[in-house]
Chains A and B, each alone.
Chain A
Amino acid sequence: MAISTVARVGAMAALTALALTACSTGGSEAPGAAGGDCAPSDGPVTLTFTSWLPGVEEAVAIWNDENPDIQVEVQTGPNGNGGTYQNFFNQLEAGNAPDLGQIEFDAMPNFRVQDGLENIAACDGILEAEDQFVPWTWSQVTFGEEDAVYAIPQDTGPMAMFYRADLFEAAGIAVPETWEDYQAAAAQIREQGGYINNFSQSDINAFAGLVWQAGGEWFANDGEQWEVNLTGEETTQVAEYWQGMIEQDLVAVYPPWTDEWNAAYNSSEIWTWVSAVWGANTIASGAPDTAGKWAVAPMPQWEAGASAAGNWGGSTTAVLKGSDHPYEAAQFALWLNSDADALTAMNKTANIYPATIEGANLPVFGEGVEFYGGQKIYEVFAEAGNNVDPDFTWGPTMTQVYNDVADGFSGAVSGSGTLLEALQSGQSSTIDALKAAAIPVKE
């Protein structure tokens, strides 16, 4: 509805912006200069910040105490795809968007293409902050442009393998280090009546994490147009691997996030989950009877001895277009996502896993976790975070991609069609969607 017009304007604006990046140098203090300008406001300011992180108010309260002249008001709503992104676009259209908003990595290109983000590269200390963040997260907020920063990374979801250490040991199966081992283990586990994993038909971003690990890229942008590649070599490899697992009945296919899915883990039917760092709480909550029996190992590899990891989830704090106080907003965003107290507070209330390099060293991540037999599981995830390929690019219409591919995947798990066919149909529907939004795309 409203989007299409915004998109059309935004696409052009983005193109212009991309073409002009060479000119828009940071630090230009000239008043009224577009893009590169970022000067402090006079007098006290109040910023609005929309986030769906539970309890983010606690971290914000620390800032408000320390900065009486820059007060931040928290607004909330459902998670991004649950309505907040749509709200942001409505608000951008109406001109009353909040100064700051939480935006997940996979939604960033959508906002960039629709020109919903302020470039805060010229604001004090923002470009210099790059070194503080895990490398791949920074490339997600700059889109590879020079002198451009569109958000500050907040949290990440580096992936690893949760596995039932007790069951593997009792069955005498070695913990798989490659995907080949993993499939062999799957067959052995199946003989014992269990499943090695559950293939999620609806978490397409988790599948993207697996492709990410394999070195695949779904989107690319050369500054002029987008390229969609949902069926590249690596993606095909991953899709065929899991297709084989489904066809040989080596993985369960419960709809994820349901009671029966939880019950399958709780009853020890499923032995592993290749998931992100935040999944640690999901298992602990959904499968309470298995406490103490889990452990975490790096993701299985496509090449023996490699250490590639994928990522599933994570978000940023962006300064939305039209903010009257981009300087102050940028300072707050940087503080919120790099200050040890703020990160600790957000980890406590919302289990976030920080995007800063230093964040992995917070005391809370150095402790052993009882649910995982006392293992210091976050060491595995910190290592995984450093091994995530920085070149993976999300597309501007990820919600549509997820929906379209999920339709095909849910058919594939019940035997109609294959994962690869779902991706092929997703490929063409994505190109159509980009064209419909007047976003230039290579055919």
Chain B
Amino acid sequence: MTVNAPAVPPAAPPSRPLRGAGRRRSSVLLAAVRTPRGAIGLGMAAMVVLAAVIGPLVAPYAPDALVTLALGKPNGQFLLGGDYLGRDVLSRVLDGGWVLLVMAACATALGIAGGALAGVSAAYLRGVSDGIIMRAVDVILSFPQVVFALLLLSLLGPRLWLITIAVGVSHAPQVARVLRSATLDVSERDFVKAAELQGMRPIKVMAKEILPNLISPLMVEAGLRLTYSIVVIAGLAFLGFGQPPPAANWGTMIYENRIGLSVNPWAVIVPAALIALLTIGINTFTDAFARVVIGVDRRPEQAALIDDLGQELSK
């Protein structure tokens, strides 16, 4: 050992125990929930989801039973009155959410998975793959989302799985764009080169080295795409591409009952408000998450300043 090689490992900075290994992804979510913005957003979305999930179990009447007057005013028995055929609006509202939510979630998952695969491999592989993938993306992008979905549906007929796939596919290009630029940034970093020098296969480099560093843009993108999915799917239902009648669906309910808007407005307002509450809630939470992420995924030069100063500030 030379004279100056340290005999003992350098003392750990006193702040290390505070920054334990237990933080990371889960705690980013937790930190987002702890911000007022995140708590409000999550609360709004959770209320709607809860209503949609346990709704079918607690609905007082069957959604398709003709139990009251057509467009009847709300009263003690029928809290939200009747719809244009005389079915209980409350029961239909409680019953009409879960299919929408499941479809939106599936469409989002599909869009994120497809978009991530396309975007990450385009950016990492570069060259010909990049060209082919991104031109394909451009082609899909050139169709407006709703028009693209309508086109597919008019060709193949309104099937729920088809709606889900159509919406998912129409998301993929947007996701691919965002993740491609995020990947371009990450794949230039030296740890990716280090993995290549270990002889790692490209697919493994993407999955093990790059993807974990994209969690934050992925989560933000997922939140954003989920709100779009809900709006597009509800919108398609409004246009008549949804579950066939007499099934209840928030989008369909708005369409069916708009003729009675002046008689029993609740049949339109409540489903519309639920959709609004859900999308605003998810968006707000996504926003809170994105803000927390910026504080976590900082760049080295910012890290120096934040490490030196920010920790003390946040105490």
Q: A and B: partners? A: no
